Amino acid sequence: MTTNRRGFLKGGAALGAGAMLTASGLTEYAKAWAQSSQWKPEAGATINLLRWKRFVQGEEDQFIKIVAAFEKATGVKINVTNESFDDIQPKASVSANTGVGPDIVWPLHVTPHLFPDKLVDMTDVADYLGKKYGGWVPVAEAYGKSKGKWICIPVAVNGGYINYRISSMNAAGFSKFPDTTAGLLELCKAMKAKGTAVGFALGHASGDANAWLHWLLWSHGAFLVDKDDKVIINSPETVKAMEYCKALSDTFIPGCASWNDSSNNKAYLSGELHLTANGISIYAAAKASGDAKQLAIAEDTDHAFFPLGPSGKPAELQLAFPLMVFKYTKFPNAAKAFTAFMMEAEQFNPWLEGAAGYLTHCLNAYDANPVWTADKKRLPFKDAAKRTLPISGLGSIGEKAATAVADFIVVDMFANYCTGREDLKGAIAQAERQAKRIYR
């Protein structure tokens, strides 16, 4: 194979958009990069890297190529372990407390802010990448920094939006996807009446449940805390969000209260589910399957932004994937070198394309990657990193916000009411008590 795509300039950075280097070509590039890099790996370095399990095979395939090229160029051995979304944070916390475990962890959201003092300062890596690739999007700086220094590198954001079957929406009497929460509720009622099931995660799904339920809360103008980190969850706006969620959940397929992050994917791809909130992984997996039934589902699937709620403005929460290095590592230079290497254009552009829209960049220069124009069904995901609020909403990002998310306070508040475990006031009061213990 020969390189068949031209490089281009964006924000002063030379990007080989989707450059398809051969294996040998990538290795030669990696060797040249390693020789000129400011981060020189320690002799005999071995890096143990813990990351989330892939949802799109093409993303993992490209990541493996990045790892292999770096190993050949530097002599550093990288051992990659994959865990589910829900298992990453607990394992990272154990490592932070014991000082034993992976050198690099690639977790979710604000996990690094649970133990910022246990992490290597990555400011030099962040400054290098930001200067070369057009700067960071605002939410990347919010996630990446603690007390003025970068404690992690925000590699990407997973945009989660509405996934729906076009034919089922049309059969329910809708020619286009509704752009308001009121319209979404009417669509879900109509689809349920037609026997085409809908469902959103109400269980401890770190990605899906946190994403859509924070959107639902924020879209109604409600937040867990204000800009001064004062707990404000007990509000009329929260009541309205809860009442809406209960009405919406009445249209759901049974079992949503126990869903994890893969449950809705499986239900949708089986043909059981016709509308949900998820990344593009459902569509990407169906397109790549080669199976006639799956290909038909992909053809009938499209994506839409989360509708506007009573607040009248976008209020999304997208899933961030920061990469962090523990201070106990014996090989901090090797870890920094790999982090910087994987985000260089020669690797990062093909990786974005391999993810097929599942992952959105946090460096502005990658706006021009052709993954966003190759398929119009990916378009809602292009600006996910620019549209999202941080997981803390109005409040400050830090250990308290990270703990609130890890404890599923917002998710459980909605789920407790929707499943009947608590009444409306009781569910809100429980969330308020939990939040005040954290934000005291």
pLDDT per residue as tens digits for the range 395-418: 998 889 988 988 999 999 999 999
Sequence-separated contacts (24+) of 283-286 with Cβ below 8 Å: 283/163, 283/377, 284/55, 284/56, 284/58, 284/355, 284/356, 284/357, 284/358, 285/55, 285/56, 285/57
| pLDDT score of 54 more than 80 | yes
The listed CATH number (3.40.50.150, 3.40.30.10, 3.40.190.10, 3.60.21.10) that belongs to domain 21-159+318-388: 3.40.190.10
The pLDDT score that the predictor gives to residue 23 is: 58
Three-state secondary-structure class, residue 157: strand
User: Quick count: other Cβ atoms within 10 Å of Cβ 372?
Assistant: 20
pLDDT per residue as tens digits for the range 68-105: 999 999 999 999 999 988 899 899 999 999 999 999 99
The pLDDT score that the predictor gives to residue 6 is: 29
CA-to-CA distance for 151 and 135, rounded, in angstroms? 17
Helix spans in 172-314 (H): 181-193, 208-219, 236-249, 263-269, 281-288, 292-299
Query: C-alpha dihedral over 97, 101, 102, 108, to 10 degrees?
Result: -40
What is the pLDDT confidence band of residue 215, given thresholds at 50, 70 and 90? very high
Three-state secondary-structure class, residue 313: coil
Average pLDDT over residues 270-283: 95
How many Cα atoms sit within 13 Å of 98 on the Cβ side?
Answer: 10
pTM above 0.85, yes or no: no
What is the pLDDT confidence band of residue 21, given thresholds at 50, 70 and 90? low
* Sequence-ordered list of residues with C-beta below 8 angstroms from that of 378, at least 6 positions apart, any chain: 280, 303, 356, 357, 371, 372
Are 176 and 204 contacting, i.e. CB atoms less than 8 angstroms apart? no
Helix spans in 55-120 (H): 57-74, 85-98
| pLDDT score of 18 more than 60 | no
Three-state secondary-structure class, residue 172: coil
- Mean pLDDT of the chain, nearest integer: 92
CA-to-CA distance for 256 and 267, rounded, in angstroms? 11
CA-to-CA distance for 423 and 119, rounded, in angstroms? 41
161-317+407-438: which CATH topology? D-Maltodextrin-Binding Protein; domain 2 (3.40.190)
CA-to-CA distance for 437 and 414, rounded, in angstroms? 19
CA-to-CA distance for 109 and 392, rounded, in angstroms? 10
Are 212 and 259 contacting, i.e. CB atoms less than 8 angstroms apart? no
What is the pLDDT confidence band of residue 219, given thresholds at 50, 70 and 90? very high
What is the pLDDT confidence band of residue 207, given thresholds at 50, 70 and 90? confident
3-state secondary structure 31-70: HHHHHHCCCCCCCCCEEEEEEECCCCHHHHHHHHHHHHHH
The pLDDT score that the predictor gives to residue 22 is: 58
* Sequence-ordered list of residues with C-beta below 8 angstroms from that of 158, at least 6 positions apart, any chain: 207, 279, 318, 319, 320, 321, 358, 359, 360, 384
Burial (CB count within 10 angstroms: exposed 0-12, middle 13-18, buried 19+), residue 282: buried
CA-to-CA distance for 375 and 302, rounded, in angstroms? 11
CA-to-CA distance for 319 and 366, rounded, in angstroms? 18
Domain boundaries, the chain: 21-159+318-388, 161-317+407-438
Average pLDDT over residues 162-178: 98
The pLDDT score that the predictor gives to residue 399 is: 82
Q: CA-based diameter of the chain, in Å?
A: 65
- Let me know if the fold of 21-159+318-388 is the same as that of 161-317+407-438: yes
Sequence-separated contacts (24+) of 91-95 with Cβ below 8 Å: 91/50, 92/50, 92/324, 95/326
% the chain with pLDDT above 90: 84
pLDDT per residue as tens digits for the range 283-333: 988 998 999 999 999 999 999 999 999 999 888 999 899 999 999 999 999
Nearest alpha carbon to residue 183 among 162, 201, 167: 162
